[in-house]
Homo-oligomer: A and B are copies of this chain.
Protein backbone atom coordinates (compact mmCIF):
# COMPACT_ATOMS: atom_id res chain seq x y z
CA UNK A 1 0.00 0.00 0.00
CA UNK A 2 1.39 3.41 -1.01
CA UNK A 3 2.19 6.02 1.63
CA UNK A 4 -0.35 8.48 0.24
CA UNK A 5 -3.16 5.99 0.67
CA UNK A 6 -1.98 5.13 4.16
CA UNK A 7 -1.81 8.76 5.27
CA UNK A 8 -5.17 9.62 3.69
CA UNK A 9 -6.92 6.69 5.37
CA UNK A 10 -6.02 8.28 8.69
CA UNK A 11 -6.95 11.89 7.91
CA UNK A 12 -6.99 13.84 4.64
CA UNK A 13 -4.27 16.49 4.76
CA UNK A 14 -4.11 19.63 2.59
CA UNK A 15 -1.24 19.48 0.14
CA UNK A 16 1.39 21.66 1.89
CA UNK A 17 0.92 19.71 5.13
CA UNK A 18 1.06 16.39 3.35
CA UNK A 19 4.31 17.42 1.68
CA UNK A 20 5.86 18.38 5.02
CA UNK A 21 4.88 15.01 6.39
CA UNK A 22 5.99 12.85 3.47
CA UNK A 23 9.30 14.70 3.36
CA UNK A 24 10.00 13.19 6.78
CA UNK A 25 9.24 9.65 5.60
CA UNK A 26 11.73 7.20 4.04
CA UNK A 27 11.19 3.85 2.40
CA UNK A 28 13.19 0.96 3.88
CA UNK A 29 13.37 -2.81 3.34
CA UNK A 30 14.14 -5.65 5.72
CA UNK A 31 14.14 -9.42 5.41
CA UNK A 32 11.90 -11.99 7.06
CA UNK A 33 12.99 -12.57 10.65
CA UNK A 34 14.36 -9.04 11.16
CA UNK A 35 13.37 -7.37 14.39
CA UNK A 36 12.03 -3.95 13.58
CA UNK A 37 11.35 -2.86 17.16
CA UNK A 38 12.68 -4.27 20.38
CA UNK A 39 11.05 -4.71 23.76
CA UNK A 40 12.73 -2.79 26.57
CA UNK A 41 14.08 -0.19 24.19
CA UNK A 42 12.93 3.37 23.61
CA UNK A 43 12.25 3.43 19.88
CA UNK A 44 12.73 6.53 17.73
CA UNK A 45 10.78 5.63 14.60
CA UNK A 46 7.33 4.53 13.61
CA UNK A 47 6.65 2.50 10.47
CA UNK A 48 3.85 2.00 7.99
CA UNK A 49 3.73 -1.34 6.23
CA UNK A 50 3.88 -1.02 2.46
CA UNK A 51 4.28 -4.75 1.91
CA UNK A 52 4.53 -7.82 4.14
CA UNK A 53 3.27 -8.93 7.53
CA UNK A 54 4.71 -8.65 11.02
CA UNK A 55 3.91 -9.83 14.51
CA UNK A 56 4.28 -8.19 17.91
CA UNK A 57 5.24 -10.37 20.86
CA UNK A 58 6.66 -10.20 24.33
CA UNK A 59 8.79 -12.70 26.17
CA UNK A 60 7.28 -14.32 29.21
CA UNK A 61 8.25 -17.12 31.52
CA UNK A 62 6.37 -19.59 29.32
CA UNK A 63 7.85 -18.30 26.07
CA UNK A 64 6.84 -15.70 23.51
CA UNK A 65 3.30 -14.36 23.53
CA UNK A 66 2.07 -12.94 20.25
CA UNK A 67 -0.47 -10.19 20.69
CA UNK A 68 -0.74 -8.42 17.35
CA UNK A 69 -0.35 -9.01 13.63
CA UNK A 70 0.35 -6.14 11.24
CA UNK A 71 -0.42 -6.24 7.54
CA UNK A 72 -0.22 -3.90 4.55
CA UNK A 73 -1.41 -0.41 5.52
CA UNK A 74 -0.98 -0.96 9.26
CA UNK A 75 1.20 1.16 11.51
CA UNK A 76 3.99 -0.36 13.54
CA UNK A 77 4.74 1.64 16.65
CA UNK A 78 5.98 1.09 20.17
CA UNK A 79 3.16 2.98 21.80
CA UNK A 80 4.99 3.52 25.07
CA UNK A 81 7.93 4.96 23.17
CA UNK A 82 5.70 7.13 21.02
CA UNK A 83 3.44 8.45 23.75
CA UNK A 84 5.58 8.43 26.85
CA UNK A 85 9.18 8.08 25.64
CA UNK A 86 9.46 4.94 27.69
CA UNK A 87 10.55 1.40 26.92
CA UNK A 88 7.90 -0.61 25.12
CA UNK A 89 6.74 -4.14 25.80
CA UNK A 90 6.75 -5.37 22.22
CA UNK A 91 9.24 -6.87 19.88
CA UNK A 92 8.20 -6.62 16.26
CA UNK A 93 9.38 -9.47 14.07
CA UNK A 94 8.93 -9.53 10.31
CA UNK A 95 7.08 -12.69 9.24
CA UNK A 96 7.88 -11.97 5.57
CA UNK A 97 10.30 -9.78 3.68
CA UNK A 98 8.86 -6.29 4.17
CA UNK A 99 8.89 -2.86 2.58
CA UNK A 100 8.22 -0.16 5.16
CA UNK A 101 7.81 3.59 5.41
CA UNK A 102 9.90 4.99 8.23
CA UNK A 103 8.95 8.15 10.12
CA UNK A 104 11.09 9.68 12.83
CA UNK A 105 9.11 10.50 15.97
CA UNK A 106 10.91 13.69 16.88
CA UNK A 107 10.46 15.04 13.33
CA UNK A 108 6.78 14.25 13.67
CA UNK A 109 6.58 15.97 17.04
CA UNK A 110 8.08 19.09 15.54
CA UNK A 111 5.36 19.10 12.90
CA UNK A 112 2.64 18.64 15.53
CA UNK A 113 3.38 21.96 17.20
CA UNK A 114 3.77 23.87 13.93
CA UNK A 115 0.98 22.59 11.71
CA UNK A 116 -2.61 22.29 12.94
CA UNK A 117 -3.52 19.89 10.15
CA UNK A 118 -0.74 17.54 11.09
CA UNK A 119 -1.71 17.91 14.75
CA UNK A 120 -5.20 16.78 13.80
CA UNK A 121 -3.76 14.02 11.65
CA UNK A 122 -1.85 12.85 14.74
CA UNK A 123 -5.01 13.10 16.79
CA UNK A 124 -6.97 10.96 14.33
CA UNK A 125 -4.11 8.50 14.16
CA UNK A 126 -4.13 8.03 17.93
CA UNK A 127 -7.93 7.89 17.99
CA UNK A 128 -8.10 5.20 15.34
CA UNK A 129 -5.41 3.12 16.99
CA UNK A 130 -7.31 3.57 20.25
CA UNK A 131 -10.49 2.26 18.75
CA UNK A 132 -8.72 -0.76 17.28
CA UNK A 133 -7.02 -1.49 20.58
CA UNK A 134 -10.28 -1.15 22.48
CA UNK A 135 -11.96 -3.53 20.07
CA UNK A 136 -9.21 -6.07 20.62
CA UNK A 137 -9.60 -5.68 24.38
CA UNK A 138 -13.36 -6.13 24.17
CA UNK A 139 -13.01 -9.18 21.94
CA UNK A 140 -10.52 -10.64 24.34
CA UNK A 141 -12.72 -10.03 27.36
CA UNK A 142 -16.07 -11.03 25.90
CA UNK A 143 -15.43 -13.74 23.41
CA UNK A 144 -14.21 -17.29 23.64
CA UNK A 145 -11.12 -18.42 21.79
CA UNK A 146 -13.44 -20.25 19.38
CA UNK A 147 -15.37 -17.07 18.59
CA UNK A 148 -12.18 -15.08 18.17
CA UNK A 149 -10.76 -17.70 15.86
CA UNK A 150 -13.92 -17.62 13.75
CA UNK A 151 -13.70 -13.83 13.53
CA UNK A 152 -10.10 -14.07 12.47
CA UNK A 153 -11.15 -16.41 9.66
CA UNK A 154 -13.92 -14.07 8.66
CA UNK A 155 -12.05 -10.75 8.92
CA UNK A 156 -8.55 -11.60 7.81
CA UNK A 157 -8.55 -15.01 6.11
CA UNK A 158 -5.47 -14.03 4.12
CA UNK A 159 -3.48 -13.64 7.34
CA UNK A 160 -4.33 -17.15 8.46
CA UNK A 161 -2.75 -18.56 5.34
CA UNK A 162 0.44 -16.61 5.89
CA UNK A 163 0.96 -17.11 9.62
CA UNK A 164 1.82 -20.34 11.38
CA UNK A 165 -0.70 -21.74 13.84
CA UNK A 166 1.56 -21.56 16.87
CA UNK A 167 1.51 -17.77 16.53
CA UNK A 168 -2.26 -17.77 16.00
CA UNK A 169 -2.75 -19.92 19.09
CA UNK A 170 -0.57 -17.59 21.13
CA UNK A 171 -2.52 -14.62 19.78
CA UNK A 172 -5.80 -16.27 20.80
CA UNK A 173 -4.40 -16.95 24.25
CA UNK A 174 -4.62 -20.73 24.01
CA UNK A 175 -2.19 -23.56 23.42
CA UNK A 176 -1.51 -24.89 19.98
CA UNK A 177 -3.12 -28.15 21.05
CA UNK A 178 -6.35 -26.34 21.97
CA UNK A 179 -6.35 -24.53 18.65
CA UNK A 180 -5.98 -27.87 16.92
CA UNK A 181 -9.01 -29.16 18.83
CA UNK A 182 -10.99 -26.11 17.74
CA UNK A 183 -9.99 -26.60 14.14
CA UNK A 184 -10.88 -30.27 14.30
CA UNK A 185 -14.34 -29.43 15.64
CA UNK A 186 -15.01 -26.90 12.86
CA UNK A 187 -14.35 -29.40 10.10
Q: A residues near B, CB below 8 A?
A: 58, 60, 65, 67, 79-80, 82-84, 89, 112-113, 115-116, 119-120, 122-123, 126-131, 133-134, 136-138, 140-142, 173
What residues on B are CB-neighbors of A58 within 8 Å? Answer: 138, 142
Complex: A84 Cα to B10 Cα, angstroms: 12
| Contact pick for A130, options B60, B83, B115, B141, CB 8 Å | B83
Q: What residues of B have a CB within 8 angstroms of the CB of A67 in the complex?
A: 137-138, 141-142
Known: A128-B83, A133-B137. A142 touches B112 (CB 8 A): no
B134 adjacent to A65 (CB under 8 Å): no
Contact in complex: B173, A141 (CB < 8 Å): yes
Q: A89-B138, A126-B123, A140-B137 given as contacts; is B113 within 8 A of A83 (CB)?
A: no
Say how many copies of this protein the assembly contains: 2
A136's partner among B113, B119, B126, B137 (CB-CB below 8 A) is B137
In whole angstroms, how far apart are the Cα atoms of A83 and B135 in the complex?
Answer: 13
One of B65, B83, B120 near A112 (C-beta < 8 A): B120
| Cβ distance A49 to chain B, nearest Cβ, rounded Å | 19
By a CB distance below 8 angstroms, the chain B residues around A65 are: 141-142
What are 21 sample pairs from A and B whose C-beta atoms fall under 8 A apart? A58-B138, A60-B142, A65-B141, A65-B142, A79-B130, A79-B131, A80-B131, A82-B127, A83-B128, A83-B131, A112-B120, A112-B123, A119-B120, A123-B123, A126-B126, A126-B127, A130-B130, A130-B133, A133-B137, A136-B137, A140-B141
